[in-house]
Amino acid sequence: MNNLEPEITYTGKYTPLSRAELVAKLREALTTSRFNHVLRVERTAIQLAQKYGESVEKASIAGLVHDYAKQRPDTDFIKAINQYHLDTELLNYGNAIWHGVVGWLFVKTELQIENIDILKAVEYHTVGHQYMSKLAQIVYMADYIEPGRDFPGVIKARKATEISLAAGVSCQTQQTLSYLIENKLPVYPQTIITYNAWVPEQIKE
């Protein structure tokens, strides 16, 4: 496997597009640096899929499309929040939350991806969820630890993900919540729900 161009032939089960066609759509939708991030997330997701026994094809597709909506104007998201009657709490947030929590709808309608596991992995990739499939955990972690990431805590998160996906998810969720609080940033309610599901170690009375 070449590092940046994995040689995967898609089966057609999850998208009618070939990998090359999907890559072309992402290249068009994103800036060069964001596009390169997406390729690194795909590669990392494939490696995690191989390590933890998940479909390499689903990991490739989900990795490629996870940030598809990252460069869309706010008006597109506000329109979608109203059109699909999504939680109006979303209107208090911005692109950082919208590109996943709302962006999966654009992946479904514009990239013709119907597979629920892939769509949920996109929906949950920023704020997580109390129930994340193996694929959703892989995308959540691949996005956070891909080789282009360089922030305090990334090495700890890479080491945790080597131990188990759950350990990685816990590490990322804890670090993200700490970062948001440290910087007095608003915490999206789902982020707290994810924290409670994955981080506290049970203390028995």
Per CB under 6 A, 127 contacts ligand GDP: yes
Q: Is 187 in the site for ligand GDP (CB under 6 A)?
A: yes
| Contacts (CB under 6 A) with ligand GDP, residues 162-181 | 176, 180
Which CB, 52 or 93, lies closer to ligand GDP? Answer: 93
Quick one: angle between helices 56-65 and 32-52, nearest 10? Answer: 160
Minimum CB separation of residue 17 from ligand GDP in Å reads: 22
* 56-85 binders of ligand GDP (CB under 6 A): 67, 70
**CB of residue 35 to Fe ion, shortest distance in Å:** 11
Using rule CB under 5 A, residue 146 touches Fe ion: no
Is residue 49 within 8 Å of residue 58, measured between CB atoms? Answer: yes
Structure tokens at 16: 């009618």
Minimal distance, residue 175 CB to ligand GDP, in Å: 9
67 binds Fe ion (CB under 5 A): yes
Question: With binding defined as CB under 5 A, does residue 54 bind Fe ion?
Answer: no
Residue 128 Cβ, how far from ligand GDP at the closest point, in Å?
8
Please give the structure tokens belonging to residue 3. Answer: 């590092």
36 lies in the binding site for ligand GDP (CB under 6 A)? no
Please pick, from the candidates 31, 164, 185, 196, the single residue that binds ligand GDP as defined by CB under 6 A. Answer: 185
The site for ligand GDP (CB under 6 A) is made up of 67, 70, 96, 100, 125-127, 143, 176, 180, 185-188, 191
The site for Fe ion (CB under 5 A) is made up of 67, 143
